[in-house]
Amino acid sequence: DFRDNNLKGSIPSEIGKLSNLSSFIISYNEITGTIPTEFTDLSKLQLMHLHGNRLRGTVPPLPLKVQSTSSLIADCGSPSDFDTPLHCPSCTMCCNSRQECDVATAKNRFANWAFFLMGLVVVFLFLTAIASWYCKEGFRQYLSVRGCEHDAIGKTSVYSFFLSNSLTAWALATAVVVAQVICFYSYISGASLVFDADKDWVYSFVCPRDEAECRNVSDVGVQGWVFFSIFIAAHLMSDMVNGIKLVWNAPRHCLIQNSLQSFFGGVCLFSIAALALYSSVVYNLAISRSDLELIFNTVILIFVCELDDKLYKCLESVSPSWMEKITREIRESFSINHVFRDITGGEETKETMLEYQVNIDESVKKDIEVYKENISRLEDELSSLKKSFEQLEQKYNTG
């Protein structure tokens, strides 16, 4: 054990000939150079600490009998004193230049899992829409939208633009969804633990100079995760439930356009909420090392979820007349379904709604015919008055 002795120079290759060597600790010195390849002959080695030095290159594969996460420690973390950290495939713990350490198991698949999760979400929502199409009418009411779809997707959210027919509104809503996806993906990507790259991951272990075992210094406890769950549920639960309801009720609209708008809006609403939940969990696992940090990071991530509401308020301030027009259009577009639910008590089918639409069209046609008759009658009366006026004019001229 030669730790913390201000040793300098390089590691002698002759140490590799000590066949009975079981422990080799040279941490916290000023040793430079590389690890001798002769160390591969140390068949009885159980403990090796190389961190806290200025070693470079690659640690050769060692026949180490691993006993714990502190069995083989080296400066293979980032940031490093060199451009490239020490490469140590067999290390159990990696430390960086700030003397922070973490278990040497790279965690860089969070982005891949995010794509997999989004794929599962889309499949789940498609199956939900199919199930709604074939299920019995009575069971449908458990997930029916109360009121109008505009209320479910959020009257003060730009997601409601997906229910409109305006290309500009769709472009704005799509831009917000893309911006939120990029933000959440940045958090997920930054949460990766890659030892040869400088990511946001905060190392959670320290390896003291006077101890052979490293300690986990993370103070995140049950209380922090409880508050995290409360905040996330309060902000995301309603979006996820309403997203499912919009998808569930999409096949019930009499117009295909309304069905597609409701389905797409529900998919976006639910997917962004699911992605926010995943990125919140992953990013907090990566950088939160206390309950306060956990709560603070959660609040920041929740703010990204509010981007759609903030943009809606900005648009209301900048162009209130245009916003009023879009809102009125959405209300009118989905009012037939809303009125019909009030008439039938919620037991609506596509066939009966189509019949209801036909009745409305016939009523409008009748009104038009009445208006035409009234106009024709007014034209006759106007023609009669014109003749009477001409006769009076002639009498006046002859008299």
pLDDT of residue 349 exceeding 50:
no
Residue 271 has which token pair? 């997917």
Note the pLDDT of residue 193: 82
**How far apart are alpha carbons 293 and 286 in whole angstroms?**
11
> To which H or E segment does residue 33 belong?
strand 30-33
Q: How many CB atoms lie under 10 A from the CB of residue 225?
A: 15
Flag whether pLDDT at 282 surpasses 80.
yes
Torsion of CA 325, 331, 333, 338, to 10 degrees: -170
Nearest to 299 by CA among 218, 193, 227, 199: 227
Q: Is the pLDDT of residue 374 over 50?
A: yes
Question: What is the predicted pLDDT for the residue at 143?
Answer: 61
Question: pLDDT class for 345, splitting at 50, 70, 90?
Answer: very low
**Helix/strand/coil for 23:** strand
User: d(Cα 86, Cα 89) in Å, to the nearest integer?
Assistant: 10
Taking residues 231-253, report their average pLDDT: 88
3-class state of residue 345 by DSSP: coil
Distances, alpha carbon 59 to alpha carbons 69, 74, 124, 290, 345, in Å: 17, 9, 47, 34, 74
Arithmetic mean of pLDDT, 7-25: 88
What's the rounded Cα separation, in Å, for the pair 184 and 118? Answer: 12
274 touches 117 (CB < 8 A):
yes
Does position 249 have pLDDT exceeding 70, yes or no?
Answer: yes
pLDDT at site 146: 61
Task: Kindly list the distances between the CA atom of residue 2 and the CA atoms of 23, 26, 229, 346, in Å, as whole numbers in the listed order.
Answer: 11, 5, 47, 80
Separation between Cα atoms, residue 179 and residue 171, nearest integer Å: 12
Tell me the sheet residues that pair with 23.
47
Cα separation, 356 vs 134, in Å, equals 22
- Residues paired with 102 in a beta bridge: 94
Question: ∠79-187-77 over CA atoms, to 5°?
Answer: 20
pTM of the model as a whole: 0.75
Instruction: Count CA atoms closer than 13 A to 254's CA, side-chain side.
Output: 19
Beta-bridge mates of residue 95: 101
Instruction: Give the pLDDT confidence score for residue 346 in this predicted structure.
Output: 44
Asked whether the beta carbons of 265 and 163 are under 8 A apart, the reply is yes
pLDDT surpassing 80 at residue 301: yes
Our CA dihedral for 238, 243, 244, 245, rounded to 10 degrees, sits at 80
Residue matched to tokens 């799509």:
174
| Structure tokens belonging to residue 270 | 């639910």
- H runs (alpha helix) in the chain: 110-134, 137-140, 149-153, 167-190, 222-249, 256-287, 291-305, 307-318, 320-333, 335-344, 350-398
| Overall average pLDDT of the 336-351 stretch | 49
Q: Which amino acid is at 363?
A: S
Residue 226's pLDDT band (cuts 50, 70, 90): very high
Q: How confident is the model at residue 281 (pLDDT cuts 50, 70, 90)?
A: very high
SS3 assignment, position 10: coil
